Amino acid sequence: MSRPEHIAPPEIFYNDVEARKYSKNTRIQSIQAEMTERALELLDPEGPSFILDIGCGSGISTAIAESFGHTLVGMDISPSMLSVALENDEVEGDLLLGDIGAGVPFRAGTFDGVISISAIQWLLNADKTCNVPQRRLTRFFETLYSSMKRGARAVMQYYPESDTAQRMILETAKKSGFSGGTVIDNPDSKRQKKYYLVLQAGGIRTLDTSEMSVEDDNNKNHRLKKRKKQDMSVKDYISHKKELNRRRGHSVPRDSKYTGRRRKTAF
């Protein structure tokens, strides 16, 4: 499937036509609702909370979170989507037009929790030459971290385009001070696989990972190493092995111009 990020920047892609789909299309609505409920389950807020909804769009996720008794603030970059949210009249909380890549404009310690449904993958797009994805990610996570109460949690569902993108997002979040990881639902199904970034901003409330299929960091490192080995040429690999063994004090044949050369076929 083509990714909307490749077509146009979010404020242009989600035009009136695209935004209309979010109020009419029941399939989109049911998927969004399902993901919101799962995100709220992972968020596990204590009592009625003040929650930020990043990329609230037409307000599907905002309305659902409100039905649980929370007070919401929704943020989105597309005016068309926000006007659909206004028309729907289901959202009670505040909406605001803003670019998360330029920072979350709230003072320190504002929110008890943050949810986001299918939004943060847009941060990795460089639609203009002045946009540097890494800089936008860093700015986003740093301001998000400071805008959350200590011990508050952020659950963000997103569609990572590649392993690199996923790693980049998680690493930036960790550098900004968050702890946490990625929860993957339905890991075996290609279509229904869903990624939830679960982050915690300081505090002592422990993250219960027993029921989550958290991707192991060690495992990932292992795979990376393996790939690195595959990328080496035969000669590099041999000299790498010889060097290792030399360092360990084993007796190793000396290097010559024939090292790592392919033998001639016999006849």
Partner 1 sequence: MKLLTANFLTCASKKCSSSPDAFPLNISDAKIAIQECEMNPEFIKNVMLRVEWPALVKTTQQLGNNTLPMEKPELTDESDELLFKSLHNVLLETEITEGKMTCGSCGHVYPIVEGIPNMLLSETEV
* CA distances for 165 relative to 16, 17, 155, 156, angstroms: 29, 29, 17, 15
Which of 12-20, 28-36, 43-51, 185-193 is the region at the interface with partner 1 (rule: CB under 8 A)? Answer: 43-51
Nearer to partner 1, 35 or 137 (CB): 137
Cα angle vertex 31, ends 20, 69, to 5°?
Answer: 90
* Secondary structure of residue 182 in the 3-state scheme: strand
We find the least distance from the C-beta atom of residue 37 to partner 1, in angstroms, to be: 21
Which member of 49, 125, 157, 182 binds partner 1 (CB under 8 A)?
Answer: 49
Residues 102-121 that bind partner 1 (CB under 8 A): 102-103, 105-107, 109-110, 112
Cβ atoms 69, 48 nearer than 8 A: yes
Enter the tokens of residue 97.
């037009």
Region of 184 (left: φ > 0; alpha: ψ -120 to 50; beta: rest) is: beta
Nearest residue (CB) to partner 1, 56 versus 183: 56
In the numeric block, the tokens 């890494």 are attached to 134
* Distance of closest approach, residue 93 Cβ to partner 1, in angstroms: 8
Site residues for partner 1, window 119-148 (CB under 8 A)?
128, 130, 139, 143
Which residues are at the interface with partner 1 (CB under 8 A)? 47-50, 69-71, 73, 77, 82-83, 86, 92, 94-99, 102-103, 105-107, 109-110, 112, 128, 130, 139, 143, 149
